């Protein structure tokens, strides 16, 4: 592709010339005027590199090929497995985690295993692993390249814009938004922890926003302030619906980000010892959601503290969307939801959790003892991991309540397993048991009632079964 430079500024003092605009044939021209630079949010100016320097590749996955096919916007597309009958999803990375740089390909593999369709992993490693301001501006050219590919596919296969879904992580989320501004009517854009630096509080034309697609859903996982906590993701709600798993700031299994804002370039170039666990969780959650269609239920709530306290439990009138791949099944009544959605996840794979409220009435000796209580749920042949219900005094006749995040999906709960211990030698050998367990499912508020008929010794399992009518 030929390169044409439009020289807009001559620096006579140094004898050098600087381009304020660069043009790349059919991809168009790009300048470094506001709002792209020269603002408080974007202090460092940069122009996009050439397409050759970006090295962008489009890697097609379908149910017919176990390995990717590299495609181009020309007649060679006809020998690929691309099908104009199905939806097409583009997966656009925006931060490359060491040893996980090909996660878009893994997401596409999960996608075509679950559904008929085309999934295109966009690779632009050369244009991404550079100084941050440069990478942020390279994303503009990348967006033009993706838009050009979509335009070609629409023309070649007589497809409409509503057949395309873009999934972008970090800088890739804002690149997806720029694609949407170039191609009106895209079905959906999913922003996976959109980058904060150079995008937070900018003009809508610079960042992802709801005008970029018919439906925009966003997952926030690293949303602490960048300048004080080095959070790489933006806390601002920018979609039709925005999810904040675990509060959106610090993910279970991840440590707090360590470093200084001045190290941003080194972080992006991959030369610093930075752990991007929180930032990467967004695409990890989405990938898992593809195969786990019942997990990641988001609860509408004002803030994380209210959610953790159970004030937003259970879902009312089907007002809980699924975070991730199936978020578009949710209908936003007022067009743009003014509500944030919260949920809990696990520390490691599988991340998805299934929420219940447990209310347990304890039976035992007339005197209280210190101890711990645990419960697990069973449905058919599946039993969840045991969860601690209480730590403290065990008082017979008292009711104990907690929110339980089960690690496995149960279509119906058929049994509650109860256990207690205190690791204290007690010559009285007390026994405790659950006389009644009320279980409320989070996703729909359905109630399950169980009745216990026995007490058990320390560390024995009590099987609490459904109450008989």
Contacts of 174 (CB under 8 A, 6+ apart): 94, 136, 139, 168, 191, 194, 195, 199, 206, 207, 208
Nearest to 432 by CA among 363, 384, 372, 348: 363
Determine if residue 242 is labeled as part of a ligand binding site: no
User: 444 an active-site residue?
Assistant: no
Q: Give 282's Cβ-side CA count (13 Å radius).
A: 39
Element containing residue 141 per DSSP (H, E): helix 132-157
Antiparallel, parallel or unpaired: β 369-379 and 88-92: unpaired
User: 193 an active-site residue?
Assistant: yes
Q: Is the peptide bond before 350 cis (omega within 30 degrees of 0)?
A: yes
Burial class (CB in 10 A: 0-12, 13-18, 19+), 328: middle
Give 67-104 as a 3 state SS string: EEEEECCCHHHHHCCCCCCCCEEEEECCCCCCCCCCHH
- Residues 457, 429 contacting (CB under 8 angstroms): yes
**Annotated catalytic residue within 170, 289, 337, 355:** 170
Burial class (CB in 10 A: 0-12, 13-18, 19+), 255: exposed
**Annotated catalytic residue within 37, 169, 174, 193:** 193
**Annotated catalytic residue within 279, 289, 295, 390:** 279
Rounded to whole angstroms, the Cα distance separating 103 from 106 reads 5
Determine if residue 212 is labeled as part of a ligand binding site: yes
- Residues 185, 214 contacting (CB under 8 angstroms): yes
SS3 of residue 204 by DSSP: coil
Contacts of 68 (CB under 8 A, 6+ apart): 59, 60, 61, 105, 108, 121
Residues with catalytic roles: 170, 193, 279
Specify binding-site residues for Ca(2+): 207, 209, 212
């Amino acid at each position: 592709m030929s390169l044409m430079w439009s020289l807009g500024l001559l620096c006579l003092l140094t004898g050098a010339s600087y381009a304020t605009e660069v043009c790349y044939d059919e991809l168009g021209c790009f300048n470094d005027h506001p709002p792209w630079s020269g603002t408080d949010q974007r202090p460092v100016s940069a122009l996009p590199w050439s397409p050759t320097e970006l090295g962008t590749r489009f890697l097609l996955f379908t149910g017919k090929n176990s390995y990717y096919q590299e495609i181009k916007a020309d007649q060679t597309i006809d020998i690929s497995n691309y099908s104009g009958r199905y939806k097409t999803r583009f997966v656009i990375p925006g931060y490359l985690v060491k040893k996980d740089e090909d996660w878009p390909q893994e997401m596409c593999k999960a996608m075509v295993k679950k559904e008929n369709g085309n999934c295109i992993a966009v690779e632009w490693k050369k244009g991404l692993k550079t100084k941050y301001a440069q990478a942020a501006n390279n994303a503009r050219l990348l967006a033009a390249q993706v838009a050009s590919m979509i335009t070609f596919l629409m023309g070649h296969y007589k497809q409409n814009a509503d057949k395309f879904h873009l999934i972008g992580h970090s800088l890739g989320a804002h690149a997806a938004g720029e694609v949407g501004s170039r191609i009106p009517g895209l079905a959906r854009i999913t922003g996976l922890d959109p980058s904060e630096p150079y995008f937070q509080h900018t003009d809508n034309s610079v960042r992802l926003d709801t005008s970029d697609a018919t439906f925009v859903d966003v997952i926030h996982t690293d949303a602490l302030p960048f300048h004080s906590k080095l959070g790489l993701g933006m806390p601002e709600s920018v979609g039709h619906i925005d999810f904040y798993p675990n509060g959106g700031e610090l993910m279970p299994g991840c440590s707090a980000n360590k470093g200084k804002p001045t190290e941003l370039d080194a972080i992006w170039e991959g030369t610093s010892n930075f752990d991007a666990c929180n930032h990467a969780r967004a695409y990890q959650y989405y990938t898992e959601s593809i195969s786990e269609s019942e997990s990641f239920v988001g609860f509408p709530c004002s803030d994380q503290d209210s959610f953790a306290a159970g004030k937003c439990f259970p879902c009312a009138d089907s007002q809980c969307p699924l975070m991730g791949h199936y978020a578009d099944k949710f209908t936003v009544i007022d067009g743009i939801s003014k509500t944030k959605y919260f949920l809990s996840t696990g520390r490691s794979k599988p991340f998805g959790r299934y929420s219940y409220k447990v209310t347990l009435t304890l039976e035992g000796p007339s005197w209280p003892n210190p101890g711990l209580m645990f419960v697990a749920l069973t449905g058919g042949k599946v039993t969840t991991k045991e969860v601690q219900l209480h730590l403290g005094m065990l008082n017979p006749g008292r009711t104990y309540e907690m929110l339980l995040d089960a690690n496995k999906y149960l279509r119906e709960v058929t049994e509650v397993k109860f256990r207690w211990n205190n690791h204290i030698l007690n010559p009285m050998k007390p026994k405790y048991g659950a006389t009644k367990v009320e279980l409320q499912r989070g996703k729909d508020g359905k109630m399950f009632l169980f009745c216990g008929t026995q007490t058990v010794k320390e560390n024995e399992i009590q099987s609490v079964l459904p109450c008989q009518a």
